[in-house]
């Protein structure tokens, strides 16, 4: 089974890069299933039905969320009708779910979405949620498990790796929009601290630089805006799974000027 993951899609620039490149990448790399994080997909904040349909039609199979899941209230019924997840460790009674099982290439694949704690809204304990959900999935006979861990702190993401390595197929972090350079495979688990955004690459975390700079200089905040024009990037991790273990992983950085940079995961014993 070959799966791919795309981190935070930021506005129209991110959606356009997916529309222009994803189906071709699926074909050339033989990708069976694509997961992506939607929480910034609609003008940087949340997800609309229109944009959800656009992204699914572009070759994405399921999408995960985060702290901006609820920014567009129209998503609430969509969590029940479309393959859209929200963090699994929101308290009981919150609409939707953060874990779903899919049939992929004749096998079962679980996609799990969990949110961290530092700088985030109140949620249940991320680490107990991850541990207990993975134990339940294993009892159900699901061995291929991918986790999008949506968290600010790199220490939380690394701790989740230490907790679940060897038990899940992949753990990739989202939320910071800044890609890390630590793609590895350890005990059959692919790990990357942060996937990095897909969208504008020449601004501040995919947003126009004016408001962030004003905030840093004066302490006065404003509404972040996704630029109409910018230099764009699509960042994708591709993982090959065998009986629930990741045996190969690569990160693709696809630029709108035609360049593609591919980085291989390093292997740990």
SS3 137: helix
177 is catalytic: no
CA dist 68 to 27, 44, 95, 214, 226, Å?
31, 9, 14, 22, 15
Q: How far apart are CA 116 and CA 148, in angstroms?
A: 11
Q: Mark out the alpha helices in 101-177 (DSSP H runs).
A: 126-139, 154-164
DSSP 31: -
- The catalytic position among 43, 68, 88, 117 is 68
Q: How far apart are CA 171 and CA 48, in angstroms?
A: 26
CA dist 6 to 36, 76, 155, 208, 213, Å?
4, 22, 21, 21, 27
List residues with catalytic annotation.
68
């Amino acid at each position: 089974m070959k799966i791919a993951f795309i981190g935070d899609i930021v506005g129209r620039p991110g959606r356009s890069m997916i529309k222009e490149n994803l189906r071709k990448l699926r074909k050339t790399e033989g990708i069976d299933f694509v997961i992506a994080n939607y929480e910034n997909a609609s003008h940087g904040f949340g997800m609309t039905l229109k944009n959800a349909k656009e992204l699914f039609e572009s070759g994405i199979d399921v999408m995960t969320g985060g702290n901006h899941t609820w920014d567009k209230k129209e998503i609430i019924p969509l969590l029940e009708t479309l393959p859209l997840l929200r963090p699994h460790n929101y308290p009981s009674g919150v609409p939707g779910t953060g874990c779903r099982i899919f049939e992929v290439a004749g096998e079962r694949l679980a996609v799990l979405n969990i949110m961290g704690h530092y700088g985030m809204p109140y949620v249940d304990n991320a680490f107990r949620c991850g541990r207990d959900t993975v134990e339940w999935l294993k009892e159900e006979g699901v061995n291929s498990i991918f986790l999008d861990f949506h968290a600010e702190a790199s220490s939380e993401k690394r701790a989740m790796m230490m907790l679940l390595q060897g038990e899940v197929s992949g753990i990739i972090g989202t939320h910071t929009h800044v890609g890390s350079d630590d793609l590895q495979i350890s005990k059959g688990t692919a790990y990357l601290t942060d996937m990095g955004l897909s969208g504008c690459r020449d601004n501040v975390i995919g947003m126009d630089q004016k408001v962030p700079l004003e905030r840093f200089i004066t302490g006065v905040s404003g509404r972040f805006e996704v630029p109409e024009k910018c230099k764009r990037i699509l960042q994708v991790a591709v993982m090959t799974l065998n009986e629930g273990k990741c045996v190969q992983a690569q990160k693709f950085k696809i630029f709108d000027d035609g360049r593609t940079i591919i980085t291989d995961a390093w292997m740990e014993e």
